[in-house]
Amino acid sequence: MAKEIDNYKAFAEVNLSNARSENESYEDYKKRLKQNEQILKLYKTVGRDNFKEMFPNGVQEAIKNAEEAEKTNAETLGEAK
């Protein structure tokens, strides 16, 4: 029976470093640290398997989708005024 290799990488392309990047504003840095804390807390709470079900393509895709949805909502609200 062959063992199946799992190539799931939940945190691919996510900057989990506590160091501030050269071209990262302080506000973005603080936001990223808070976001990382929430992501890691969720991962530790639900476990790897449940996390994989929640984010099958990794966390970075979910973050991008949330940012796009936020931008779309802001544009929609701007048009409503």
Q: Using one digit for the tens of pLDDT, what is the confidence trace for 14-64?
A: 999 999 999 999 999 999 999 999 999 999 999 999 999 999 989 999 889
Q: Is the pLDDT of residue 80 over 60?
A: no
Task: Answer for the pair 58, 9: CB distance below 8 angstroms, yes or no.
Answer: yes
pLDDT at 37: 95
State residue 8's pLDDT score: 86
Fill in the amino acid letter for 30.
K
Using the structure block, give the residue that is written with the tokens 């062959």: 2
Q: At a CB cut-off of 8 Å and minimum separation 6, what does 26 contact?
A: 20
Q: How much is the pTM?
A: 0.75
